[in-house]
């Protein structure tokens, strides 16, 4: 494939071939992280900027390691000590950093659309590392990569995505990714946390976790996003845990063999029990490992497409 996109802003705008191409490139990069010297020269001389306006452990670290394994230089821009605190706009911030001849911005922001705004204002590549409730494309790509690694395919896989669908950029990107690649997706959660009309994206809706997890290959639990819930969407955390929390004992008798996934960070004891998170069918740390290869692929393709 002749990759032409300088930005990766969401999976909504990618077609099946483009998504599969990123996963194929990621597969070739995965081996790099197992070498004694974990480096290839693919982006030597390029500069990648981590521009995170929201906290992150996995995504920020993973992008930094991915860039370094491609031999790029990395700048971790510290928002809290920058002139953003004096009122400088995100566009001015990005344009001033770009004037120092950088090649790529990795952008996380609490406002949906912020990476799109930056991408229209700079010539450098822009990668969305999570924007508000909108998309988190590299999370979905690493989830797809992990499922494909386990099952050898995505088409025909049955996945139940459970929890706070309404506020979840991870759910949105995964719905685009899994449906485009032919998986059967069910979303499940309290009615207040399921966006109206979500069936139009090709998913089924269930309000019962017992029904949703019956006969699936993957149970994908979402973090309860307390920071985005400005109203009371359910009576209490213990009620949420009782109805929608995944506790292995509760599902001990499930006949189907399934794998458990979670994007992190986990609220242990709310959407997932510690026991469930640590069981042998949990793919949670494998997802994190695969994040490096997937982000190496995304950086490689986008940065090389900047003109
Ligand atoms: N999954 C994820 O985006 O985690 P972080 O918020 O730690 O980056």
**Residues 34 and 128 both lie in one domain:** yes
In a domain, 2, yes or no: no
In a domain, 4, yes or no: no
Measured in Å, residue 180 CA sits from the centre of ligand 1 at: 23
Name the residue at shortest CA distance from atom 4 of ligand 1: 58
Is ligand 1 within 6 A of the CB of residue 58?
A: yes
Q: Domain of 94?
A: 16-135+290-305
In a domain, 10, yes or no: no
What pLDDT sits at residue 227? 67
**Residues 209 and 251 both lie in one domain:** yes
Q: Which of 52, 58, 142 to mutate to test the pocket of ligand 1 (most atoms within 8 A of CB)?
A: 58
**Strand 125-131 with 73-77, pairing:** unpaired
pLDDT tens for each residue of 187-217? 999 999 999 999 999 999 999 999 999 999 9
Find out whether the peptide bond into 265 is cis, omega within 30 degrees of 0. yes
Reported confidence tier of residue 231, pLDDT bands at 50, 70, 90: low
**Residues 188 and 276 both lie in one domain:** yes
Mean pLDDT, residues 20-24: 98
**Residues 50 and 129 both lie in one domain:** yes
**Residues 77 and 29 both lie in one domain:** yes
Instruction: Check: CB of residue 132 under 8 Å from CB of residue 109.
Output: yes
Mean pLDDT, residues 158-176: 97
**Residues 65 and 95 both lie in one domain:** yes
Cα(127)–Cα(106) distance, integer angstroms? 5
In a domain, 80, yes or no: yes
**Residues 34 and 146 both lie in one domain:** no
What pLDDT sits at residue 228? 65
Measured in Å, residue 136 CA sits from the centre of ligand 1 at: 9
What pLDDT sits at residue 73? 98
Q: What is the dihedral of CA 243, 248, 251, 253, to 10 degrees?
A: -160
What is the total count of domains within the chain? Answer: 2
In a domain, 7, yes or no: no
What pLDDT sits at residue 233? 77
Whether the per-residue pLDDT at 122 is higher than 80: the answer is yes
Q: Which of 64, 109, 130, 167 to mutate to test the pocket of ligand 1 (most atoms within 8 A of CB)?
A: 130
- 183 CB-side CA count, 13 A: 26
Please tell me the pTM assigned to this model.
Answer: 0.96
**Residues 104 and 171 both lie in one domain:** no
Q: What is the SS3 string spanning 64-125?
A: HHHHHHCCCEEEEECHHHCHHHHCCCHHHHHHHHHCCCCCEEEEEECCCCHHHHHHHHCCCE
* Residue of higher predicted confidence among 59 and 257: 59
User: Which ligand 1 atom is at minimum distance from the Cα of 129?
Assistant: 3
In a domain, 1, yes or no: no
Is ligand 1 within 6 A of the CB of residue 61?
A: no
**Residues 145 and 245 both lie in one domain:** yes
Tell me, what CATH number does 79's domain have? 3.40.50.1370
In a domain, 6, yes or no: no
**Residues 265 and 146 both lie in one domain:** yes
What pLDDT sits at residue 184? 98
Is ligand 1 within 6 A of the CB of residue 110?
A: no
**Residues 151 and 109 both lie in one domain:** no
Measured in Å, residue 5 CA sits from the centre of ligand 1 at: 24
Mean pLDDT, residues 46-56: 97
Mean pLDDT, residues 290-296: 98
In a domain, 236, yes or no: yes
**Residues 179 and 129 both lie in one domain:** no
What pLDDT sits at residue 229? 61
Question: What would the DSSP string read from start to end of the chain?
Answer: -----S-B--STT--HHHHHHHHHHHHHHHGGGGSSS----TTTT-EEEEEESS--SHHHHHHHHHHHHTT-EEEEE-GGGSGGGGT--HHHHHHHHHTT---EEEEEESSTTHHHHHHHH-SSEEEEEEETTTB-HHHHHHHHHHHHHHHS--TT-EEEEES--TT-HHHHHHHHHHHHTT-EEEEES-GGGS-TTGGGGT-EEES-HHHHHTT-SEEEEPP--GGG--S-SSS-HHHHHHHH-B-GGGGTT--S--EEE--S---BTTTB-HHHHHSTTB-HHHHHHHHHHHHHHHHHHHHTT--
């Amino acid at each position: 494939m002749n990759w032409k996109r300088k930005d990766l802003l969401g999976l909504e705008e990618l077609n099946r071939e483009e998504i599969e191409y990123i996963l194929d490139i990621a597969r070739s990069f995965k081996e790099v992280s197992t070498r004694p010297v974990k480096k290839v020269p693919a982006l030597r001389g390029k500069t990648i900027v981590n521009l995170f306006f929201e906290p992150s452990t996995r995504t920020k670290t993973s992008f930094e390691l991915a860039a370094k394994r491609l031999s790029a230089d990395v700048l971790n821009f510290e928002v809290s000590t920058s002139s953003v605190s004096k009122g400088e706009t995100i566009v001015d911030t990005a344009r001033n950093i770009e004037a120092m001849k950088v090649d790529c911005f990795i952008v996380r922001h609490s406002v949906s659309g912020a990476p799109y705004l930056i991408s229209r204002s700079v010539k450098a590549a822009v990668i969305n590392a999570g924007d508000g409730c909108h998309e988190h494309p590299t999370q979905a790509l690493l989830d797809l990569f992990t499922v494909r690694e386990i099952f050898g395919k995505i088409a025909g896989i049955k996945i139940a995505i459970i929890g706070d669908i309404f506020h979840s950029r991870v759910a949105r990107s995964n719905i685009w990714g899994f449906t485009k690649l032919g998986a059967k997706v069910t979303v499940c959660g309290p009615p207040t946390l399921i966006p109206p009309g979500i069936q139009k994206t090709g998913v089924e809706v269930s309000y019962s976790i017992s029904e949703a997890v019956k006969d699936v290959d993957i149970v994908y639990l979402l973090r309860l996003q307390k920071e985005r819930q400005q109203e009371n969407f359910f009576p209490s955390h213990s009620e949420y845990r009782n109805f929608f929390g995944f506790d292995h004992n509760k599902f001990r008798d499930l006949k189907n063999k399934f794998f458990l996934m979670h994007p992190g960070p986990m609220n242990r004891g709310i959407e997932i029990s510690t026991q469930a998170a640590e069981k042998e069918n949990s793919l949670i740390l494998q997802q994190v490992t695969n994040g490096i290869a997937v982000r190496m692929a995304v950086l490689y393709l986008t940065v090389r497409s900047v003109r």
